[in-house]
Amino acid sequence: MTSRSTLATWLGGLESDRLARILEARGDAAAAPEPRSPGELADRLQRPGSVALALPQLTLPQLQVAEALAALPAPASRDALGELLGAADGETVSELEGVLEALADRALVWPDGAGKLRMADALRKTWDAPLGLEAPLRQLLAGATSDELHRMLAALGVTSPAGKAQRLAALVDHHGAPERIAAVVAEAPAETRKLLESRAWARRPGAVRFIMFGSPGIDLEPGAGWAVERGLLVQDRHRYGPARMPAEVAVALRGPGRHAPFHPVPPAMEPAPVTPREVDREASAAASAFTAGAASVLAACSADPPALLKSGGIGARELARVGKAAHAGNAVVRLTLETAYAAGLLARDGGRVAPTSAYDAWAEQEPPDRFAVLLRAWWNLRLTPTRARNEDGKALPALAGAPPRSGCVQARQGLLAAAASLPAGQGVRTASDLGALVAWYRPLADASAEEPPFAAVVGEAGLLGVLARGALSAIGVHLRTGDTEGLDIACRRLLPPATATAGIGADLTAVVAGTPSARTAALLDSVADRESGGTASVWRFSAGSVRRALDAGRTCEDITADLSAVAAGPLPQPLSYLIADTARGHGRVRVASASCVLHGDEPALLAEIAAHRGLAGLGLRQLAPTVLISRRPLPATLAALRAEGYAPVAETAEGTVRIEKDRPQRAAAAVPAPRGFRAGGSGRIATSAAEDSSRSGPGTLARRLTAARAEEQEPASPGDPVPFATDTEEVVAGRAKPCRTATSASSPTPSTPVGP
């Protein structure tokens, strides 16, 4: 029976609850149009593209069991698999059964009618040489001639029968006994023995060999000729690539009692006791600080949009400028820019990155709602924003448009799964402990040679309050399970509402505890200079900041009234004096553009300006007691006068005061905001309400398929391939290839498999 037919039969015999678990784990197979029968569902579950999507969700022991099963002849028995993995005692056997159940819940491995284990063909083909074992001797010598087989038998001292098939059978029978292989190798030259022993433990390299002008590839390695003559190594007929070692030879040389790697238990961690109250308090502080910092970063981008590099992205200089203006660290700046861009709050506008109209609506929201928007965007990001350097150590720009990496999503899912596995009331002491757990839960996740592993992802989770004191917070719990409603409730509980009042002191500072409301932040930004942000934001008033508000068209009375409305108490006398004194001197000198003309009502003041040495660069000339002309343009003249402590105002062509109010730049096109977030368990992306209304849930679809059980007809030919919905799936299936060596790379210690 084909794997498709056995899978369809197995699916048809499942209860609806078990079938619902499979549909939940393999949500892509239930996409519209929904499957109408177990056979149709089996076709979808076996597609390479669907298997490729399921692979990154597997833990280390699940990948190890799958690779071991791929190394065994199909179908394999549980006893053979247990022997290969060294599952001898009751506890290890129980753990192996648990792993097989988890693979069955994803329809990657299932039992057939005879009790043997089957696996998806696409999963078996994921490994070119599972457990480092090449193809068996019979397959490698399928193209050999009868004379070549005769020479191999003669070199081994075995009587050569007549006929190619008989000679191949005799050679396979000889190599099927490990003791005979060991005896032959013992008589080999020292150079050959060394080569064979090293090749028995090594995985076949996947390097691409370039053949030029039809010439053969590399020559045989030193000592390989003796082994090729006896069938211990098999050279490709066209001599492309190194000689390959048959699986029987590798098993014999590895020796008895060796097992494939199997680590069913996560690595041990050093626990750190922590109470739920402590986790909530730290998560609340982190989330509040990030929300306030993100608001400052986006406000700085609104005032002066960062420029893009010619090669794309925002470079280190612009990132530093934005961080200085927002009083935010580099990690907060990068994380904010990437999440805001993904959420549609920022967009490219020519050579700059500017806020969109969606940003204005976001800025008016309460802090919990602002935070939830950026958190969901972070959960779906196909990159790690704070990983500021590549593998070569070069600094990476932000918003560079790098190719998406699904391994980053898997790293976040693995991190939350690792944190959720910790006992109640326990956290971890160091980020490296969490990194080791992530590598166990998601061995195919992208660590990018970080030291310690996954340090950037762990740091981002701490910045967002997803992790606190090394434990999973309420925000992280709902994020992992995909509970949108629960996530919103947790954000509102942990993040306080926006603060609309400010404590204004006699030292000319204004302090807002928590996240300031949009109105309060805009008012203080217009009349004072922000000095710090985070859990508490601080602004400082000065003559220059008050003059900036007056230049924007505000009057002394307006500024005083607006500040009194947000102040926790009466305005301090020093601030009232500062506002009044600045307003009194504001506009005493007016600058008109003629190139340009300065005039005022006080001849003494104009004479003072004309004689001022610091203004000599303007080339001032007095035409009348109250009129001066400047050789510099109006903006330069205004800047020079203000730099020397004067407070001039500009005039329009009609002689009225020109209001200097900067209008924030907005990008014309916005990036659509994500409609949902990816749940850690199923890997399914939440869709719109209209789409969800027309799609059945896993439980409903499972009951429908159970009720529609019918006998599935075998394909016309057992060799017929599983049909593909689109050609793209064959390309997507290639994403599964990196896991060929992931299992061995993730294993803490090398171990040797027993052959199939």
3-class state of residue 351 by DSSP? coil
User: What backbone torsions phi and psi does residue 730 show, to the nearest 5 degrees?
Assistant: -65, -35
pLDDT digits (tens, 9 = 90+) for 359-372: 989 988 889 999 99
Say if residue 671's pLDDT is above 90.
Answer: no
pLDDT above 90 covers what percent of the chain?
31
Looking at residue 593, its pLDDT comes to 65
pTM: 0.70
Q: Which pLDDT score, from 0 to 100, does residue 688 have? A: 43
How far is it between the farthest Cα atoms of the chain?
Answer: 125
Give the integer Cα–Cα distance in Å for 231 and 155.
Answer: 9
**What is residue 741's predicted lDDT score, i.e. its pLDDT?**
39
Using CA atoms, how far apart are residues 40 and 84, in angstroms rounded to an integer? 34
Q: Looking at 48-62, 114-128, 500-514, 703-717, which range is the least confident one?
A: 703-717
- Distance, in Å, from the CA atom of 252 to the CA atom of 245, rounded to the nearest integer, reads 11
Beta bridge partner(s), residue 389: 395
Rounded to an integer, what distance in angstroms lies between the CA atom of residue 228 and that of residue 170?
Answer: 17
- pLDDT category of residue 717 using cuts at 50, 70 and 90: very low
Categorize the per-residue pLDDT at 662 as very low, low, confident or very high, splitting at 50, 70 and 90.
Answer: low
Rounded to whole angstroms, the Cα distance separating 376 from 367 reads: 14
Q: Which residues contact 348 (CB under 8 A, 6 or more apart)?
A: 308, 399, 667
Distance in angstroms (rounded) separating the CA atoms of residues 384 and 79: 43
Cα distance between residue 38 and residue 19, in whole Å:
10
**Is pLDDT at 710 greater than 80 in this prediction?**
no
Query: Of 23-32, 252-261, 312-321, 458-467, where does mean pLDDT reach its minimum?
Result: 252-261
Q: What is the mean pLDDT of residues 457-471?
A: 91
**Which secondary structure element, helix H or strand E, spans residue 353, and what is its range?**
strand 352-355
pLDDT band at 519 (very low <50, low <70, confident <90, very high): confident
How is the chain split into domains, by residue range?
6-127, 137-208+219-254, 271-494, 503-585, 596-644
Mean pLDDT, rounded, for 32-45: 87
> For 55, which DSSP code?
G
DSSP 8-state secondary structure symbol assigned to residue 366 = -
Strands (E), 602-696: 621-624, 627-629, 649-650
How far apart are alpha carbons 291 and 332 in whole angstroms?
10
| CB contact at 8 A, 696 and 387 | no
- Name the E strands within 478-582: 503-504, 509-513, 529-532, 536-540
> Which of 111-120, 305-314, 704-713 has the lowest average pLDDT?
704-713
pLDDT category, 65, cuts 50, 70, 90? very high
Tokens of 11: 């699916």
Considering only residues 685 and 225, tell me which one the structure prediction assigns the higher pLDDT: 225
Chain segment 191-224, per-residue pLDDT in tens: 988 888 888 876 554 333 333 333 344 456 777 8
Q: Are the C-beta atoms of residues 494 and 280 closer than 8 Å to each other? A: yes
Strands of the sheet with 536-540, listed across from one edge: 503-504, 509-513, 536-540, 529-532
Check pLDDT > 50 for residue 689: no
Q: What is the residue whose two structure tokens read 């020109």?
A: 658
**323 in the Ramachandran plot: left (φ > 0), alpha (ψ -120 to 50) or beta?**
alpha
Regarding predicted confidence, which is higher, 208 or 691?
691
Which pLDDT band holds residue 38 (cuts at 50, 70, 90)? Answer: confident
Lowest mean pLDDT among 20-24, 25-29, 300-304, 749-753: 749-753
What residue ranges in 576-636 does DSSP mark as E strands? 589-592, 597-600, 621-624, 627-629
| 71 neighbors 133 (Cβ within 8 angstroms) | yes
Residue 683 has pLDDT above 60, yes or no: no
pLDDT at 547: 92
The CA-based dihedral angle spanning residues 92, 95, 101, 103, taken in that order and rounded to the nearest 10 degrees = -90
Query: How many angstroms separate the first and last alpha carbons of the chain?
Result: 21
| DSSP 3-state of 132 | helix
The pLDDT, as a whole number, for residue 77 is: 87
pLDDT single digits (tens) 142-159: 888 899 899 999 999 988
For residue 26, pLDDT beyond 60: yes
- Per-residue confidence (pLDDT) for residue 730, from 0 to 100: 42
Model pLDDT, residue 663: 66
Count of alpha carbons within 13 Å of 571, Cβ hemisphere only? 19
Average pLDDT over residues 342-361: 92
Residue 72 — pLDDT band, cuts 50, 70, 90? confident
Type of residue found at 624: A
Residue 36's pLDDT band, with cuts at 50, 70 and 90, is confident
Calculate ∠ Cα 530-534-537, nearest 5°: 35
For 83-139, the pLDDT digits (tens) are 888 887 778 889 999 999 999 999 999 998 788 899 998 898 888 888 888 888 888
516 neighbors 537 (Cβ within 8 angstroms): yes
- Whether the predicted pLDDT of 513 surpasses 90: no
DSSP per position, 596-613? TEEEES-HHHHHHHHH-G
Average pLDDT over residues 323-331: 91
pLDDT bucket at 280, cuts 50 / 70 / 90: very high
Instruction: Tell me the pLDDT of the chain averaged across its residues.
Output: 81
Q: Could you tell me whether strands 589-592 and 621-624 are parallel, antiparallel, or unpaired per DSSP bridges?
A: unpaired
| Long-range contacts of 363-366, Cβ-Cβ distance < 8 Å, separation of 24 or more | 363/295, 363/298, 363/299, 363/518, 364/518, 366/497, 366/498
Q: What number is the average pLDDT over the span 387-406? A: 73
Mean pLDDT for the stretch of residues 30-38: 84
Find the Cα–Cα–Cα–Cα dihedral 179, 182, 186, 188, rounded to 10°: 130
The pair phi, psi for residue 151, each rounded to 5°, is -65, -35
**What type of residue is 464?**
L
Q: What are phi and psi of 616, to 5 degrees?
A: -60, -30
- Crossing angle of the two packed helices 518-527 and 556-566, in degrees rounded to 10: 140
